[in-house]
Amino acid sequence: MKTLMVLATLGLSGFVGTAGAYAGDRDGGRRHEPRIHERYCEPAPRLERCWIAPRYERVAVGVDDCGRPLFRMECVQPGYWGTRPIHCD
């Protein structure tokens, strides 16, 4: 009976001691190297050159002999070279 009591006491004290050691350490007593915070930078956006077509609109320029409107296609915005981002998926 005395032996059983001694073993039970040692078992409980060992369990409590282990639990107490882990209570303060989140990593369970293991030591890790300090974490190095890496800085993540977005890569520069890739651009491609593209032609933007000219824009034409129908414009009323007057009326004919019967009173109907006369129209002409007129360039509102000339074409030009521009850039746009390339989406890499």
The average pLDDT across 18-23 equals 53
**Separation in Å, CA 69 to CA 41, 60, 84:** 59, 6, 40
> Per residue in 29-86, pLDDT tens?
666 666 666 666 667 778 899 999 999 999 999 999 999 999 999 999 999 999 998 8
The Cα–Cα gap between 47 and 15 comes to 63
Q: What is the largest CA-CA distance in the chain?
A: 127
Per the model's pLDDT, the better-predicted residue between 57 and 23 turns out to be 57
Where is pLDDT greater, at 16 or 35?
35
Q: What token pair was written down for 20?
A: 């107490």
